[in-house]
Chain A
Amino acid sequence: QVQLVESGGGVVQPGRSLRLSCAASGFTFSSYAIHWVRQAPGKGLEWVAVISYIGSNKYYADSVKGRFTISRDNSKNTLFLQMNSLRAEDTAVYYCAKENEPEAGRSEIDYWGQGTLVTVSS
């Protein structure tokens, strides 16, 4: 069965960096676009970024553009999110989520990981 397991969350000071990982299994990782979606405490879902199946296309939310970088290693079935210049408003549970197509925006997000909590606080 499809499994997406995020890791790398924790408490970090404003202005610092953090790298999240998402280990995938149960499907052909290299054939699908993968997203990061976050949810601040008590708030709704906010899309963060997506990367196409071979990493050739990447899209970002305006709120993270220039600070966050999405990448993937298909040889290790792993997705990454490098987060720089973190702000208090980046505090959220970060989910990796699989799209049902190779390219972004063509299909639904059909599976979600359990999330990893990032807290930005001094």
Chain B
Amino acid sequence: QSVLTQPPSVSAAPGQKVTISCSGSSSNIGNNYVSWYHQLPGTAPKLLIYDNNKRPSGIPDRFSGSKSGTSATLGITGLQTGDEADYYCGTWDSSLSAVVFGGGTKLTVL
């Protein structure tokens, strides 16, 4: 059971928009920055969003992040088949003194 809660899967058609939610508590999302990672099959995770809503260089602006209270959301617009991957949210948990991740969300682009 992950400390952060994500939907197991989401799907949408190419060109459409999808959002992935990440729910936590005051000890993690509520008081720390959230990051998002994507993981293509058979590869290592890669940073997608940091500090709730910032994109590293090279990440297109189709990807966006937001946070409100103890929840965070990843948004992806203009879906492409290459976006099919597992997506994870992560943050520091101040009570556990640990990094916590969501259970991951599998994105399918139909």
**CB of A50 within 8 Å of the partner chain:** yes
- What residues of chain B lie closer than 8 Å to A59, measured between beta carbons? 97-98
- Write the chain B residue with the least CB distance to A57: B97
Report how many A-B pairs have Cβ atoms within 8 Å: 62
**A82 on interface, CB distance cutoff 8 Å:** no
Q: How far is the CB of B105 from chain A (nearest CB, A)?
A: 10
Q: Given A45-B104, A105-B92, do A35 and B44 touch, yes or no (CB 8 Å)? A: no
Q: How far is the CA of A35 from the CA of B98 in the complex (A)?
A: 10
With A108-B33, A108-B50, A113-B44 as contacts: A45 and B90 at CB distance below 8 Å: yes
Residues of A in contact, count (CB < 8 Å): 25
* Assembly CA distance A37 to B101 (angstroms): 10
Query: Using a CB–CB distance below 8 Å, which chain B residues touch chain A?
Result: 2, 32-33, 35, 37, 43-47, 50-51, 56, 86, 88, 90, 92, 94, 97-104
- Which residues of A are interface residues toward B (Cβ below 8 A)? 35, 37, 44-47, 50, 59-61, 95, 97, 100, 104-115
